[in-house]
Chains A and B, each alone.
Chain A
């Protein structure tokens, strides 16, 4: 009975398959294309024939490219990295057994990840791959393996990060994002906890206010504060932007954390209080350790809000304190040649990469965050 019920007919299977394939193509194509364009010379990046853009004949001729060996090593690296990533919990436990400190183990794990990444992509794929490329050129039958197939150049990324000092804007974004996430979580966990434990009318009104505030367009808030910030010398200061973004994000943070806190039974609070803890101790030592998944998820969404923001940063930051996203529009306006345009495409790819890594690492949390908010909201 059950098997008949949930089995799809052949037509439906085909429809499902085609829909999924179509969707993954549409979802991935623009981003993938940006990446492909950013590693070619401008002549190829803007070629009309898509095959020319992918293969990059002019890039191959002038700068060289990835050979079959390179591609193989690339796939191998991704595979190794992915396997390592999948068993990250095992490695974490192994390290923890040695250090017995969760925080240090976590940091060590991240360090190992970074080191592995660098070793694979900067050592294996460059030195060892080049060595094999050069070696195979002299072997008669295997020569074809070392022939460059796909044009590849990193000069745009180097131009963006080193010559145009995009790393400065990256550091600015990192600073703003870190500030927003930490302050948001600190203030938000306190409020979310209190709101989840209280049924009073004040709590209700606070939540309603938060709902209304969440709907406000950001430009309304910036209008109110722009002149004040400028008059008090806060124009161009990252602190001003951090505070403004935290305030804009507060309603959403409160709602999300409250729904996570509601999952933790109130009995724990009562037990802690019976044991003699004051409310704050109960909060910090009993409840918070259980809340880490919720905190991480909410932190993620705060991170996204701060990282992706354009309006507030474009109106309030400038010069040396500019963050990455407004800077890319400015970058786009800097272009006076085709090379500059490709460099702005490389900048766009650079901005997207951390988000890509974020989704890879925190896919589960993002999904649970979105659903949590909906189930209780």
Chain B
């Protein structure tokens, strides 16, 4: 009997732990809701505020883009809310999986700024909450000690990396989000835009040219100063490399800037500073792309769920909530001052970096890049062969999809 009592009390206490984390929230949420989004800090800030209202289970998954179209396509949708980036928004939009938000904004969206409303042909389809861009992170103390100026072009980055490597003050001078797949594709896209403006000629891919060649060469040069396991190095890995004092410079996402000063995890608090993404050509535009991340609401859910989901999203995106963590991301909100860590994103935008050219064609090319580049970087394929393969693989994929 006593043993049974213990058994029950243990199970009960586990259940309580799950419930006890619900704190005070002004508008309690009655409808069970779920969301799918990426897992970096900004999303944690937004979803934890939403969780306080109860009945909400967020799924934070860095690989969310691998599932989002199928998840929202099922009927009923697997998730009521989804966190999208500029490119995943196009995927769900084209597939007709998200609902227009104009009515809901009229009813509950009074706190939203106009530049947060992402409209397609006049209809609001997504609410942007933050901008993001990859820009230069650097260890101010190391650069100062070695007398290096903050690099503004990639050639200066390489020169600085050489000096840092010879000085031997850190494990590796550079870090990079070069993980095979989406991250590596993004590195190519960012670098290429430093040399050229477009990836396509009408519907055909146009990267097999001098610009593509320069891009590949620059990427390879950078890897010579990185941890050799760069093909498994995603944003979290590079963030940890910085926090553990293993690297001196990297082109990292603005949404990771706040983590540099997180006393619990970082041993370099206050030492990491931010600047615009380097350019490839002196005086050219930064070799980076501007992104926005935001919230969409699935179409395949009931209208009551949609309204509850929107109200809950407004709680998460409320300026007072975001204002508590200004360093988590470059929030789009004029209600509070941007954190000092957002300076890198601001400078990159000011320097003229282009927004990510999101489209179905671009997403397909992005996927092809991510799969083809590892062989070039490991030396298994030449630059010429790689560029040809990129175009050939793109044509195959696009033909099968009907884009060509």
Contacts and interface: CB of A to CB of B under 8 A. Distances in A.
13 contacts: A114-B7, A119-B3, A119-B6, A122-B6, A161-B14, A233-B74, A318-B71, A319-B34, A319-B59, A319-B71, A330-B63, A333-B62, A337-B265
- Interface size bracket, A side: 20 to 34
B268 to A, nearest CB: 14
A320 interface: yes
Interface in B247-290: 259, 262, 265
B323 to A, nearest CB: 21
Nearest to A237: B74
Nearest to A119: B3
A337 B79 CA distance: 25
B78 A118 contact: no
B3, B40, B71, most chain A CB atoms within 10 A: B3
Interface string A133-173: 00000000000000000000000001001110101000000
B17 A338 contact: no
B78, B79, B239, most chain A CB atoms within 10 A: B78
A48 to B, nearest CB: 11
Contact of B17 (A115, A162, A230): A162
B74 A236 contact: yes
B70 A335 contact: no
Nearest to B63: A333
Contact of A118 (B3, B71, B262, B265): B3
Contacts of A116: 3
B239 A336 contact: yes
A338 B244 CA distance: 11
A318 B75 contact: no
Given A122-B10, A235-B73, A318-B78, 12 more contacts: A115-B6, A119-B3, A163-B17, A235-B74, A319-B34, A333-B61, A334-B60, A334-B61, A334-B62, A336-B44, A337-B265, A340-B39
Interface string B45-75: 0000000000001011111000100110111
Nearest to A319: B78
B70 A230 contact: yes
A181 to B, nearest CB: 24
B207 to A, nearest CB: 28
Contacts of B236: 335-337
B39 A118 contact: no
A230 B74 contact: yes
A333 B39 CA distance: 8
A116 B21 CA distance: 31
A226 to B, nearest CB: 10
Q: What's the dominant secondary structure at chain A's contact region?
A: helix
Contacts of B73: 230, 235
Contacts of B74: 230, 233, 235-236, 318
A158 B75 CA distance: 34
B59 to A, nearest CB: 7
B4 interface: yes
Contacts of A165: 18, 57
For the complex of A and B, the 8 pairs showing the least CB-CB separation, nearest first, are A319-B78, A115-B3, A333-B62, A162-B17, A334-B39, A235-B74, A333-B63, A318-B71
A330 B62 CA distance: 8
A319 B79 contact: yes
A115 B39 CA distance: 38
Interface in A82-116: 114-116
Contacts of A233: 74-75
A336 B41 contact: yes
Nearest to A233: B75
A123 interface: yes
Interface in A304-341: 318-320, 330, 333-340
Interface in A185-240: 230, 233, 235-236
Contacts of A339: 265
A123 B265 contact: no
B59 A118 contact: no
B325 interface: no
A77 to B, nearest CB: 14
Contacts of A320: 34, 57, 78
A165, A233, A334, A336, most chain B CB atoms within 10 A: A336
Interface in B134-167: none
Contacts of A340: 39
A235 B70 contact: yes
B78 A115 contact: no
